[in-house]
């Protein structure tokens, strides 16, 4: 095997879309898939269809919200739930909890993180401040990984809920005053790329009009009114080994699709 194929996909309920996901895994010959918004508990995750295709699965989920998973056919070692310093979420009068939004594992020699960044909801919502805190904590922790080992091949893969550039949304006018495009969110994303985690997909998929997400409402997909919010950010040691990347737009079509498309990269094996 000359390359490792890594993909990320917000599946928007794995129990609803397990057949679509496993069918695509087989057709696309994906080695490692990071999944977000599985929307189920660990006990409810449909592991068997993945096992039948030769994939090991790690998953963390507590209820019908959030949930992240990694499926790998090239090994699944050193599984880690949450990253050090990951903020908790909850009302002040309740017990805040660290949500099921981050899962790490070593797969085929690459440290893969499946990440589901908080949405933010509105600029005035407490969830927005939580989102910025979450991203700042991720940046600090990820920078620490590289300080400890500058040669580590690390992939931060997932649904970032940020459109870093104006071309990453179909209409900046439509999103004026909304989350996903605000300056603080974009600066938070930039801080992670400044920490040497590079967007390894964009060079192969230049915009404008190249999206990974289309809302189910208002015929957004056929109207090509989407957002680019799903990314794979690679450490320097990983970024130099990426030979191909694509956004698999075709998987947004058909019966009962997720509202996100898979994003994949091929990584040269050293």
Q: Which of 55, 128, 159, 211 is catalytic?
A: 159
Q: Which of 31, 180, 211, 260 is catalytic?
A: 260
Q: Is 159 annotated as a binding residue?
A: yes
Has 244 been labeled as part of a binding site? no
CB burial of residue 191 (10 Å; 0-12, 13-18, 19+): middle
> Per-residue DSSP letters for 113-141?
EEEE-----STTSHHHHHHHHHHHHHHHH
Q: Is 63 annotated as a binding residue?
A: no
Instruction: Judge whether 140 counts as a catalytic residue.
Output: no
- Residue 121's φ and ψ, nearest 5 degrees, are 65, -80
* Known catalytic residue at 260: yes
C-alpha distances in Å from residue 244, one per residue of 20, 112, 131, 166: 23, 17, 30, 24
Query: Does 37 belong to an annotated binding site?
Result: yes
**How far is 252 from 5, CA to CA, in rounded Å?**
20
**Distance of CA 258 to CAs 27, 32, 162, 179, 234, Å?**
17, 19, 18, 21, 25
77 is known to lie in a ligand binding site: no
Beta partners for residue 230, in sequence order: 159
| Distance separating the N- and C-terminal Cα atoms of the chain | 11
Sheet with 56-60, edge to edge strand ranges: 56-60, 68-72, 32-36, 3-10, 263-268, 242-247
User: Does residue 119 have a known ligand-binding role?
Assistant: no
Q: Out of 116, 128, 130, 211, which one is annotated catalytic? A: 116
Instruction: Mark whether 211 is an active-site residue.
Output: no
Residues annotated in the binding site for Mg(2+), as ranges?
Answer: 10, 37, 159, 161, 259-260
Residues annotated in the binding site, as ranges?
Answer: 10, 37, 159, 161, 259-260
Q: Which residues are catalytic?
A: 116, 159, 260
């Amino acid at each position: 095997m000359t390359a490792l194929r890594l993909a990320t996909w917000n599946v928007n309920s794995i129990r609803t879309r397990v057949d679509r996901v496993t069918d695509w895994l087989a057709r696309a010959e994906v080695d490692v898939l990071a999944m977000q918004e599985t929307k189920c508990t660990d006990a409810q995750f449909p592991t068997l269809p993945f096992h039948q295709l030769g994939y090991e699965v790690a998953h963390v989920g507590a209820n019908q919200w959030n949930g992240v998973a990694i499926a790998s056919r090239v090994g699944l070692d050193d599984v880690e739930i949450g990253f050090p310093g990951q903020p908790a979420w909850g009302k002040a009068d309740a017990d805040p909890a660290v949500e099921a939004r981050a899962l790490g594992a070593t797969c085929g020699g690459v440290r893969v993180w499946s990440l589901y960044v908080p949405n933010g909801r509105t600029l005035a919502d407490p969830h927005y401040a939580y989102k910025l805190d979450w991203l700042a904590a991720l940046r600090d922790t990820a920078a620490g990984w590289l300080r400890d080992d500058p040669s580590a091949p690390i992939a931060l893969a997932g649904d970032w809920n940020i459109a870093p550039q104006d071309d990453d949304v179909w209409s900046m006018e439509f999103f004026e005053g909304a989350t996903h495009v605000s300056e603080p969110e974009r600066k938070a994303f930039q801080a992670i790329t400044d920490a040497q985690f590079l967007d390894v997909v964009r060079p192969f998929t230049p915009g404008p009009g190249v999206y990974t997400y289309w809302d189910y409402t208002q015929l957004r997909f056929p109207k090509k009114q989407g957002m680019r919010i799903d990314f794979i950010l690679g450490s320097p040691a990983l970024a130099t080994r990426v030979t191909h990347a694509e956004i698999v737009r075709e998987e947004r079509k058909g019966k009962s699709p997720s509202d996100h498309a898979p994003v994949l990269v091929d990584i040269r094996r050293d």
